Structure 1
């Protein structure tokens, strides 16, 4: 079992702690825990640096001089106040009479300390014995959930009890806030078929279960992705510097592929957020097996580039490495690097990766269609799915998302072109959702930087068995977000020839919306910077093959003008395009 040097780490506004090492089953244990002492000392340091009036109050009313002594005595005072009322404490120890005579100010200190604790992004982990398969048993699921519930209740009880003993009054309103951890994980050591160059990863524990306390709002340092993922010719030797005590592994099912996503604890908020995007892999996908993809996120080393990848042909794995840097503290790097490695693997296996969305639509009039909408970031693929959802009550009796951002095309046993997905969740722009919808999903979504441009949320949108089943394709449309709709440029336009279609998809034009560092009208090969340009020759052969088959099988290939990049059409554009698509499906085109 991996042993951490300390049972908790506090860094960059995040708190990561070992629940077993800091286990508290009584309020007294909470008040005597090293974590409580650490938080209180940091709180005192903070208000002292700011010159806060609360620090002046504490310095004036406690007879001990110096921040260190003041913090120690405040801890003792809170231990007294948990068990006794303010009057009783003042009678027992005259040194506290001055501070207890100003109860409103002291209670304000308690409130601010409680708020200070809650401002941290708090994460706990509970390590199961190796080979225990704890996550296979429902009783251990219940114990895992109960651990955080118990911590939350203890923190609330200590906070309320001390406040009541100071004020001599009970609260009129009880707010059951997530006072324990925001997210938690059950981890376990699992032996996998690890090639020698990757042995530094061998003893990093795997995440087997996760939990989150909604509403969950996270504040990563960045709110957009920059640059491209660069391929390198040799694996860096710096893997040996990995300290396994600072790392965790999220084993993800990316479609039918297995990805071991290793992340440094400084990026734990992003790493655990993957549980809203990817299915967690089963034991059978890990134990004794070799993954298709390995991503190492947060390596403290000088690399040829900040985001690099390596095609390990000897061991048949795709390897991604992201440098430890504040500029990669954005969920898009986790998501897109993983999907880049997925796409290159798909190309090697003869599947064509698709940067887009696929949805099964069954209209109330009886028609049904499986629609693929291809487009790069901000083109309107996810927004068109959102438009389908908004219009569902009037037009749709069933809607099933197969993939929201990335998938692939393959063939079923009958030779039909079918679409496969990669993710069970969606990483969508808050501004592009219908007003109010995000709040309807607040109980299961993860919000990221909701106060900034390109604010995002991660929410589940489909089930794993849907993304790996393979659904036949009826419509294959390019999301054109930059052209106005008129008589010459209809909302839905189909291409007469394969070459016309390939030209539009190959050009990959879109009006950038600020979701990356691009601006204006830009072009991306097949609207997919994630794997297709890196394997352009192989992708070009696959694209021509699949487009040829589409035309042979009667799949309608064209473009849908979402107008998402045109000011004023952010919501009306995708909705108008969705209505026109309904008419096409009904045969009224």
Structure 2
């Protein structure tokens, strides 16, 4: 960013290298403060014209908006250092207005709330060509800038209210009054595959992230629609991204590095990646070539759809592309397009991508196993992991999350190893145990908590555990729609690779409204993210891995989570978790 700030819709991005305030005087005379007051006055005039007229008359206005703005700015500056009684003497022009203190207080409270209704982001660009971003002092400055701004804004608000009313503050609310989230960015040269990608080179990389909980974002969509479409040509050819409007989050997606470029219109989604994917260090960026890039928020590509990908065979590279429309304003598009790129690369490398959850479980009696549950969105995989946590006190000695949504299998000489992709999880609030999300509020990012399919992005794993490679002991398909009875137990094992492949290949589940699907639906291997796009290669890999699992005595079956059956949203995964514990004890 080369400008001190940018206001785009309900977002404010502040470049603290150009707009730094460490005193009330600087804050009150900043261009951003003046702009916010001006915008609030216009909002007041539009939404509550009667109150606007009262305020204008109290300040001796004649209908001139600029004149009213100047008077309010002057009054606020004077109230930051003087009590109202003193102002009557110092500036008699405000005597009439100060007789309407309730009106003025309502204005100040409204202005404060108006500021806080924005999504507020702090951006600290690192000086190019220096070692500043690596310096501890620079890190400390990055962390303290937002805290200092927060205290400055709170001090201004409290001082103005106290001086205006003559009453001291009795209840101090330490609200996140500055920014919700901050990033330190740096322009870094990386190994660009070809001329087609030169339009990405000026975009700054996110090096460090800071957020002030609780964070609640309100994306314009709350579910994902449509498929991921392969493009015949590179969508980045001729595209140039502005360093003013774009950021790059260098993500460690399992064993891969993927550079995720996102437009500032989708800042809430892009910055939330810090709770989902490990942030790559400088050594993984400088002079290095990632395995893939994703551009999120670009111009239309001339085809219907939202999410696309392109395989650059000449450069052994994969490109993801999401159109910058209002329909794309959902975190699921950012997450799933990234994971689709991961899966395409895994298939090409001979690993089998999995849509599911992987976990290492150690029980209190010493028995342990590495478990994988495969299932599409809403099948109950994440909810079963949550049920493990609920039952942890009575049963668990240790639980390590390997992956919560997407992983992969690889063959070693002796074992079948599973790897993860994410250090966080993107979960439905409705499917979590009561109180869990609020217990984790200090680490979580909430999205549309007032709507159906409300979501939370929360850290759940450590990167070194995600990529270390865990031998698989139990491999289950998540069946969310069948009731349990004598003929259909909670856990049922398959007698052969062919029968197992039939169930996994069918990918049956009852849709729960997390996408635009309804009723009993099927998705190839419960994984619409790369598997159907490379079906022929995936089919060969699937048979190879399933036969290997049966040869190496891996328990392969299905678990009936009953998540889609009314009344079993909580009890179904709990019963499944208990059955899995019993299975592990008897291995």
Give the TM-score normalised by structure 2.
Answer: 0.98
> Are 2:382 and 2:427, in contact at CA under 8 Å, matched by a contact in 1?
yes
Partner in structure 2 of residue 313 of structure 1? 313
For the 8 Å contact 1:238–1:301, the answer to whether it is kept is no
Match of 2:576 in 1: 577
Structure 1 residue runs of 5 or longer lacking an equivalent are none
Residues 57-76 of structure 1 aligned to structure 2 (within 5 Å):
57-65=54-62, 66-76=64-74
Structure 1 CA distance for aligned equivalents of residues 272 and 156 of structure 2 = 30
- Answer yes or no: is the 8 Å Cα contact 2:407–2:421 preserved in 1: yes
1:108 — aligned with what?
A: 106
**Counterpart of 1:450 in 2: which secondary structure?**
coil
1:375-425: per-residue Cα shift (whole Å, max 9, x none)? 00000000000000000111111111100000000123x331010000000
Give distance in 2, aligned partners of 1:63 and 1:486: 79
The aligned residue for residue 172 of structure 1 is 170
Three-state SS of the structure 1 residue aligned to 2:258 is strand
Secondary structure class of the residue paired with 1:161: helix
Aligned to 2:370: 370
Deviation of 1:587 after TM superposition, in Å, equals: 1.5
**Any idea what the Cα deviations from partners look like across 1:72-94, whole Å, max 9, x if unmatched?**
21111101111111111121222
Matches within 5 A, 1:253-264: 253-264=252-263
**Residue of structure 1 in register with 2:392 after alignment:** 392
After TM superposition, give the deviation of residue 64 of structure 1 in Å. Answer: 2.3
Matches within 5 A, 1:113-512: 113-194=111-192, 195-236=194-235, 239-304=238-303, 305-412=305-412, 414-512=413-511
8 Å Cα contact 1:54-1:109 kept in structure 2:
no
- Structure 2 unaligned segments of length 5 or more: list them: none
Once structures 1 and 2 are overlaid, which stretch shifts more, 490-499 or 293-302? 293-302
Q: Matches of residues 8-87 of structure 1 in structure 2 within 5 Å?
A: 8-65=5-62, 66-87=64-85
* C-alpha separation in 1, matches of 2:364 and 2:132: 46
In 2, the alpha carbon distance for the partners of 1:62 and 1:138 equals 49
Change (3 A) 1:426 1:62: same
Following superposition, the deviation at residue 52 of structure 1 comes to 5.0
Sort the Cα spacing of 1:133 and 1:401 in 2 relative to 1 into closer, same or farther, 3 A: farther
- SS in structure 2 of the partner of residue 83 of structure 1: coil
Q: Partners of 2:26 and 2:365 in 1: how far apart? A: 64
CA distance in 2, matches of 1:211, 1:157: 22
What does residue 545 of structure 1 align with? Answer: 544
Tell me the distance in 1 between the aligned counterparts of 2:539 and 2:448.
38
Judge which range, 231-240 or 344-353, deviates more. 231-240
CA distance in 1, matches of 2:112, 2:230: 47
Taking structure 1 as the reference length, the TM-score comes to: 0.97
1:70 to partner: Cα distance: 1.2
| Gap change, CA 1:237 and 1:417, over 3 Å in 2 | closer
Deviation string for 1:33-82 (max 9, x for gaps)? Answer: 00001101110111110125532321220112232321221111101111
Work out the CA distance in 1 between the residues paired with 2:216 and 2:30: 27
User: Is the contact between residue 303 and residue 323 of structure 1 (CA under 8 Å) also seen in structure 2?
Assistant: no
Whether the 8 Å CA contact 1:135–1:209 is kept in 2: the answer is: no
Counterparts of 1:123 and 1:256, CA distance in 2: 30
Between 134-143 and 269-278, report the one with greater CA deviation.
Answer: 134-143
SS at match of 1:240: coil
Q: Is the 8 A contact 2:511 2:564 kept in 1?
A: yes
Contact between 2:202 and 2:242, CA under 8 Å: does it hold in 1? no
1:301: how far off? 3.4
Q: Give the Cα–Cα distance (whole angstroms) in 2 for the partners of residues 135 and 497 of structure 1.
A: 56
Task: Give the Cα–Cα distance (whole angstroms) in 2 for the partners of residues 198 and 268 of structure 1.
Answer: 22
Please give the secondary structure, in 2, of the residue aligned with 1:170. coil
Does the Cα contact within 8 Å between 2:260 and 2:293 map onto a contact in 1?
yes
1:239 CA displacement: 4.3
CA distance in 1, matches of 2:246, 2:577: 44
- Alpha-carbon distance in 2 for matches of 1:373, 1:217: 30
How far is 1:562 from its partner? 0.1
Is contact 1:371-1:473 (8 Å) kept? yes
Q: Per the alignment, do residues 357 and 135 of structure 1 end up closer, same or farther by CA in structure 2, a change over 3 Å counting?
A: farther
Q: Distance in 1 between matches of 2:129 and 2:492?
A: 56
* Distance of 1:402 and 1:121 partners within structure 2: 32
Between the two proteins, the alignment pairs up a number of residues equal to 584
Shift of 1:104: 1.9
